[in-house]
Amino acid sequence: MFESIDTSLIDWSRAQFALTAMYHWLFVPLTLGLAMIMGIMETVYYKTGSVFWKNVTQFWQTIFGINFAVGIATGIILEFEFGTNWSNYSMFVGDIFGAPLAIEGILAFFMESTFVAVMYFGWNKVSKKFHLASTWLTGVGATISAWWILVANSWMQYPVGMQFNPDTVRNEMVDFFAVAFSPMAVVKFFHTVMSGWVLGAIFVVGVSSWYLLKKRHVEFAKASIKIGATFGIVASLIVALTGDISGVQIAKLQPMKMAAAEGLEDGGNGVSFTVVDDIKIPKMLSILATHDIDGYVPGINNLLNGGYKLPNGETALSAEEKIERGKKAIVALANYRKAVKENDAAAKADAKKILDENMPYFGYGYIKDPKSLVPPVGLTFWSFRIMVGLGGFFILLFIVVWWFHRKNKYQDMPWLQKVALWTIPLGYIACQAGWIVAEVGRQPWAIQDMLPVNAAISKLQTGSVQLTFFIFLILFTIMLIAEICIMVKSIKKGPEEIEQQA
């Protein structure tokens, strides 16, 4: 079905997609976070009628707009790459994967583009109520957009709601709601979007702390910190909760990702959680993965060798057994199509039976070496610890900032203000680390257990992918530098005349 592809082409195509995705994710979280924060700020303006809060809102809307504009460009390129670099993937599951992306483009992006115009240019042209609604709907549109994109991504992690059609050699959607509202999609949405809210809160608190350090726009900074820190506490606690739920899902549905994230070679019952190196918390991994202190967590070797008991009572197959069953499915598909062509009903029925029995392992038929089923352990292991460690730090920081601000002492604590300022880049690092765990930990699968990357790729010239990789690298870097320069310039300029109108 799929042709053999040069490994260098696979590596360069993966690198190009990873480059685009990581640059895109530099812009999306701040958009999601600032959208909610500026909605809260304008709500305060609507309730109080204070011009001070109008100016506070307008300042953060300016920062939002700069980030929003640059993020669109990388997102469009990312979607195009599915068709250009991963055409086999698009052919095999386009009927399913394309649906949420189409909805995102037609509905969510339309909402964003419509109401963002009113938000920026309608201050003196529409009523305060309609403008407030436009601001919130801009944020809602961005959030809905994230929902459908995360539905598509979650389906790659946990493919449901589809059925393979041997006549078209495509997976076709049979249950839209199963795809749109799968448990993994719901949890991934809240965890990912809330991480964007956390970054938005970190950004607001950090920039506002810079104003306090410079003793500029003090009232503006204090008002922004109050909302940012409160918002950050709520968002970061939800991230922690959804992260816990996600951990249980991953342990059940993507156990190899869990094993790689823990660096667990041999599992068992009551498994310890490795903090770093030889520092372990007894039985904690079993608690996190199964919510059972003595729960069984398979390690990398267990997953490759099989033989352990699954939660449903069945015995886990080894990687070799899955690969053999996958090869049977591939051969059965070829026999089915041959029987259809020759109008041989009996051979068609036999081939269909074998195909149905082995279809759950279809993707394994393209795996050449069982060891390739193990994702990069070191990268996944440390990315997971960076994500979790920084997440805990953010909760602590928000609580400390909120407490001292409430006691009216924060403005006299320059050391804490510096910590808040330098936490901004840590927020971005945490977001990137989370996606590394999600995507690198899923390797070698484009779609979990269904389609490996070596079978999903387009047949292109490696040189053309290399060339576009460096073109994108230069282009995205220029865009990122431009965005940073424009945002820094706007921040240095500050909210105009805000002190006089406070």
Task: Encode pLDDT of 32-73 as tens digits.
Answer: 999 999 999 999 999 999 999 999 999 999 999 888 877 777
Q: How far is CA 249 from the centre of its chain?
A: 15
More confident residue, 486 or 108: 486
Is residue 256 predicted with pLDDT exceeding 70?
A: yes
Characterise 320 by phi-psi region: left (phi > 0), alpha (psi -120 to 50), beta (else).
alpha
Closest CA to 257 of 433, 430, 392, 376: 376
The per-residue pLDDT for range 190-245, each reduced to its tens digit, is 999 999 999 999 999 999 999 999 999 999 999 999 999 999 999 999 999 999 99
pLDDT of 76:
77
Of the pLDDT bands very low, low, confident and very high (cuts 50, 70, 90), residue 88 is: confident
- Residue 481, both tokens: 């530098």
Q: Which amino acid is at 93?
A: V
Q: How far is CA 114 from the centre of its chain?
A: 25
The per-residue pLDDT for range 420-463, each reduced to its tens digit, is 999 999 999 999 999 999 999 999 999 999 999 988 888 888 89
- The owner of tokens 């604590």 is 413
- Residue 396, both tokens: 């602590």
CA angle 458, 464, 467 (to 5 degrees): 130
Closest CA to 146 of 115, 176, 101: 101
Give the C-alpha separation, 50 to 39, whole Å.
Answer: 15
Residue burial 401-439, b: 16+ Cβ < 10 Å; e: rest: bbebbeeeebbebeebbebbbebbebbbebbbbbbbbbb
3-state secondary structure of 117: helix
pLDDT of 497:
55
- Using the 8-state DSSP alphabet, how is residue 374 labeled? S
Is residue 482 predicted with pLDDT exceeding 50?
A: yes
Q: Which amino acid is at 321?
A: E
pLDDT of 112:
74
Distances (CA, A) of 97 to 146, 148, 358, 494: 15, 10, 23, 43
What is the average pLDDT across 469-477?
92
Give the C-alpha separation, 288 to 416, whole Å.
Answer: 32
E strand or H helix at 276: strand 273-276
Q: Which residues on neighbouring strands pair with residue 38, listed in sequence order?
A: none
Is residue 84 predicted with pLDDT exceeding 90?
A: no
What is the average pLDDT across 382-399?
96
Average pLDDT taken over every residue of the chain: 90
Q: How far is CA 119 from the centre of its chain?
A: 27
Closest CA to 263 of 441, 498, 29: 441
Secondary structure of 379-415 in HEC code, one letter for each residue: HHHHHHHHHHHHHHHHHHHHHHHHHHHHCCCHHHCHH
User: Given 3-state DSSP classes, what are the helix, strand and coil percentages for the chain, each rounded to the nearest 5?
Assistant: 75, 5, 20
Pick from 61-75, 282-296, 400-414: least confident:
61-75
Give the C-alpha separation, 376 to 489, whole Å.
Answer: 40
Residue burial 164-175, b: 16+ Cβ < 10 Å; e: rest: bebeeebbebee
E strand or H helix at 136: helix 128-157
224 close to 56: Cβ distance less than 8 angstroms: yes
E strand or H helix at 275: strand 273-276
| Pairing verdict, β 268-269 and 296-297 | antiparallel
More confident residue, 100 or 384: 384
Share of the chain above pLDDT 70, in %: 97
